[in-house]
Amino acid sequence: MKESTFNFRIDASLKAAFTAAAEADDKPAAQVLRDFMRAYVQRRERRVFVAEARRQSRAIAARAADPGTDDYTVMQEIAADFMRLDEPTA
C-alpha cells in the first residue's frame, strides 16, 4: 500500500492533549489517527450498507403489499402455509 501524507490544522491545546493521551497509551499519535480514520470509514460504509438494505426492504415490502404483483401472491402462499402449520392436528 502506497502511503501519503495528510496535513491538517488543529487547535494547539487539542494537539497537546491528544499527543499526551497517545503517549500515555504508549502508542504513536500517527497510529492512533490512522486507527480513527479506519474506524470512521468502516462506520460510514456500514451506515451506507444499512441504508441501502432498508431501502431494498421497504421496496420489497411495498411490492408484497400490492395485490397486483407476484410478490404479493408469494407472500399470501407463504402465509397460508404458516397457517396450516399452526392448525391443530388430530
The domain limits of the chain are: 12-86
**pLDDT tens figures, 27-73:** 999 999 999 999 999 999 999 999 999 999 999 999 989 999 999 99
Q: What is the pLDDT of residue 90?
A: 63
Give the integer Cα–Cα distance in Å for 29 and 14. 12
pTM beyond cutoff 0.85: no
Predicted confidence (pLDDT) at residue 89 exceeds the cutoff of 80: no
pLDDT at residue 65, rounded to an integer: 92
For residues 9-36, average pLDDT: 97
